[in-house]
Chain A
Amino acid sequence: MIHAIIDYIQSYLGSDKTPGAAGNIFWMVVYILLVFVGLSVAVIAMNWLERKILAHMQVRLGPMRVGPHGLLQPIADALKLLLKEDIMPAEADKVVFWIAPFIVVLAAFTVFVVVPFGPTHAITDMNIGILFMLGVSSLSVLGIVTAGWASNSHYPLIGALRSSAQMVSYEVAMGLAVVSVILMTSLNDQGVGTLSMIGIVQAQQAQGMWFIFKFFPLGLIGFFIFAIAMVAETNRAPFDLPEAESELTAGFHTEYSGFRWSLFFLAEYSAMIAVSSIAVTLWLGGWLRPFPNLLTGPNWDLIFSLFPGATFVFLGALCFYNAARMPKHPLFRIQTIGLAGFGVVLALIGLVLFAPPVRERIGDIFWFSAKVAAFMYLYIWYRGTFPRYRFDQLMKVGWKVLLPTGLVLLILTATTAFAAPSVQEWLKRVL
């Protein structure tokens, strides 16, 4: 019995398929748990990073009290949220009010089923991957709308109306940009494209370039359309009208508190990670390391596989440097020791990542996460830089700028993709 189970678990090892495609339930569950835990940790880290980075952009210090440099602040926040009183307005629609946060969280987490962290590091690979991601992430607007309506209050209702109008408008431009990428995947010998997330990255590998550089500048324009639309889709600054605090208190989640509110928070950040991973997969080569076709050979492989460990060791060294710079007053002793301890932990993780069996396996996950992290930093940067749009300006950008650009882009990409093989033939004959 136990042997059978161990055999079943081991039968997947060394496979070149995702657990979902191989049909191995044990590894599917393991991957789902890993993604869930990783995502929750990422959201907690984002909470701290956003407050810290915004603060530094505005020449403030940000959280400094709880733990060294406020490192334990997210944990304190989470505890506070869980212990807070959970208030439900007397006039609210009880059932819908209760369901709404769960719809948002489910939609935000379900999309990670198809996110490809590596050729084998995904829960599963669907042949409608990108359609699935767009479809399920568009379900989160249902949760926002019902949350705003069920609160039975004016600000949430206005926030919900704004959010549904905004998300429906920007989904159109987003879809057009995505379709132009799917057209690019069909430039192979069979002339057949793919909707699978893993297939899209493999097409970029086969064609030897990220799709952001394909048919320059068409790929770049598509990427920009998506990059703008995805900020609007996730209701983030400068498109955060559904929760514009100066006008609507907190928008659609004004009446929510405690645990339910934290669900909205969790969903917002994991939706940001989800759309960033769509952008990374479609335009920035997904899990591929920089120059996978140009800088080949075992030496370059070795150099690039050292990056994950080096990053963590660097972060650990940064912690040590700041621990050394801490005030020498006895009151700061615990903080100094804590920061140094955190640095030791980071450096140890880095050393583990240097070990050959580990670094060969996590390279793809590292590059994917690093690209997504760049997008998360951009999100914070936008919030620190741009003032909020007015609602008519928002609609104007969506319908009068992004949508026509997307349509023209789609036609141009289709024409180029159709003409590209014959032009190459012609060039070959002429030259």
Chain B
Amino acid sequence: MTPVATPFFFYLLSATMIIGGVLVITRKNAVHSALALITALLAQSGIYLMLYAPFVAGVQIILYAGGIMVLFLFVIMLISIERTQKERQFNKQWLVGIVAAGVLGGLFIAVYTKGKSLFPEGRLTFAESSNTQGVADLLYGRTSGVYMFSFEIASLLLLVAIIGAVVMAKKRI
């Protein structure tokens, strides 16, 4: 079977992501921004697929595009659109922003021009069919499960957020 990871798809998905990302910050209407963000996230899951990581791509769609963005929209829909149209969209930190963007851009250019020695030669090939198993092994494997602790710590962080939301929302607990 011929590989799907052709440059054409990479450029297509990357362009979709970049356009989506730009639209997120330029659109005045918050719902349009959220829709653009969803497009970017879906294109990102396509990039995961090209990296032979179908499990990560599926989780990306379920969690971000299907779950979190729905809750985003849920909140945004209750904001008055007429008021947001008149709000100033950019604040006074544009100088810092330009510096940060310049530094990041410089980093990208440096990596692109001189970074060949930083990355290993040849391409990594992972068996697509064992991706789910590979993720599980890295998380919970008897010998290879090195990321279990950090994964569980991350879920603790979410628990803190949930408790915080309950405390904020309820007057009497």
Which residues of A line the B interface, CB within 8 A?
21, 23, 93, 95-96, 99, 126-128, 131-132, 134-136, 138-139, 141-142, 145-146, 148-150, 157, 160-161, 164-165, 167-168, 171, 192, 195
Q: Pick 9 A–B contacts, CB within 8 A, sort by A.
A: A93-B29, A95-B32, A127-B54, A131-B59, A132-B58, A134-B62, A138-B67, A139-B61, A142-B38
Give the Cβ gap from A232 to chain B, nearest Cβ, in Å: 15
Do residues A146 and B73 form an inter-chain contact, with CB atoms below 8 A?
yes
Do residues B57 and A157 form an inter-chain contact, with CB atoms below 8 A?
no
Do residues A23 and B66 form an inter-chain contact, with CB atoms below 8 A?
no
Which residues of B line the A interface, CB within 8 A?
1-2, 29, 31-32, 35, 38, 54-55, 57-59, 61-62, 65-67, 69-71, 73-74, 77, 128-129, 131-133
CA of A91 to CA of B74, assembled, Å: 20
Known: A128-B57, A167-B70. 20 other contacts (CB 8 A): A23-B1, A93-B31, A126-B54, A127-B128, A127-B129, A128-B58, A128-B132, A135-B61, A135-B62, A135-B65, A139-B66, A141-B70, A142-B66, A146-B31, A146-B35, A149-B77, A150-B31, A157-B77, A168-B67, A171-B66
Which of B54, B55, B61, B77 contacts A161 (CB under 8 A)? Answer: B77
Which of A93, A127, A135 contacts B66 (CB under 8 A)? Answer: A135
Chain A residues within 8 Å of B66, by CB? 135, 138-139, 141-142, 171
CA of A150 to CA of B29, assembled, Å: 12
Closest to B60 in A: A135
CA of A243 to CA of B6, assembled, Å: 44
CA of A150 to CA of B32, assembled, Å: 10
Chain B residues within 8 Å of A171, by CB? 66-67
Chain A residues within 8 Å of B55, by CB? 128, 131, 195
Question: Contacts A139-B61, A139-B66, A149-B73 given: A192-B2 contact, CB under 8 Å?
Answer: no
CA of A296 to CA of B150, assembled, Å: 51
Chain A residues within 8 Å of B70, by CB? 138, 141-142, 145, 164, 167-168
Give the Cβ gap from A180 to chain B, nearest Cβ, in Å: 16
Closest to A100 in B: B35
Chain A residues within 8 Å of B61, by CB? 132, 135-136, 138-139
Give the Cβ gap from A91 to chain B, nearest Cβ, in Å: 11
CA of A131 to CA of B61, assembled, Å: 9
Do residues A127 and B77 form an inter-chain contact, with CB atoms below 8 A?
no
Do residues B65 and A139 form an inter-chain contact, with CB atoms below 8 A?
yes
CA of A161 to CA of B131, assembled, Å: 36
Which of B31, B59, B67, B131 contacts A149 (CB under 8 A)? Answer: B31
CA of A233 to CA of B55, assembled, Å: 23
CA of A21 to CA of B1, assembled, Å: 8
Closest to A127 in B: B129
CA of A168 to CA of B71, assembled, Å: 8
Closest to B128 in A: A127
Do residues A145 and B74 form an inter-chain contact, with CB atoms below 8 A?
yes
Question: Contacts A127-B128, A146-B73, A168-B70 given: A192-B133 contact, CB under 8 Å?
Answer: yes
Residue of A99, A135, A142, A157 with most chain B CB atoms under a 10 A cut-off: A135
Give the Cβ gap from A369 to chain B, nearest Cβ, in Å: 26
Closest to B1 in A: A23
CA of A126 to CA of B77, assembled, Å: 35
Closest to A126 in B: B54
